[in-house]
Structure 1
């Protein structure tokens, strides 16, 4: 998955077990689609809370924020309610969408190799085109960096700019 690609469409259930369809957002909203390893870890909580705190700022630019992890809908609901999150959290329990977006990868944790979600954010414009890919994301300050990219989308659309970044915010 690279900048300039058409974002693969999918449908996944959210914390309230209501389906979210990426195709349904085309022509309506820009989408910040971020993949994270799992609910209730320090980094994932910080990232989700930061996006929730700035959701209204994103909305002013016709942008919605959607988080995806392999956790099930009930765990997402508990996570959302425990931390007062407002963004939509989608359950990719079979990791099909994570594989589609190439974020289901082998990781080494404490010397043990296992499969997991690589923390990655995609900024998708209203036409469904991936405009920015941020890989190996550090949660602190990430929402602010993504917000800056979203604010620049209208200008970038006119100029055809796309960016892929690694280790950026």
Structure 2
């Protein structure tokens, strides 16, 4: 009787180990296969998102919008740059959105350069934000947002990080398309 019990337990343990081993290796293979396949769509999604961002940056801006920058007040120019940073940053609150285009960046830079600001430090800050943007470099977006946010005495909505290309593409589609 005891021998049958031991043999039965041995068979049960063997079956359990075989089942766990089979599941582990097959599940592991399935996970590895799934990961390999998921990299391709993620890469394709990233490429598509970058294309949406580039298309947005290159699009034409109505001339009336560009020429309006020349007569905007300092505060309106600050707000326009601030609203543009929202396209690039993650923050818990955002009020206002302005699509970033090459033409807008160039027109803003020109308008700010050609105005006589009462606060020259503010003018310098805006120009230093926009200068790399003219070349399509937005690596300063979080710093830019938070400098403007601090200048405006913000207490809600500090930028925490740059949006991923997919997040930015979604922001563009939601706010400008």
Structure 1-normalised TM-score? 0.25
Query: Which structure features the higher share of strand residues?
Result: 1
Query: Which structure features the higher share of helix residues?
Result: 2
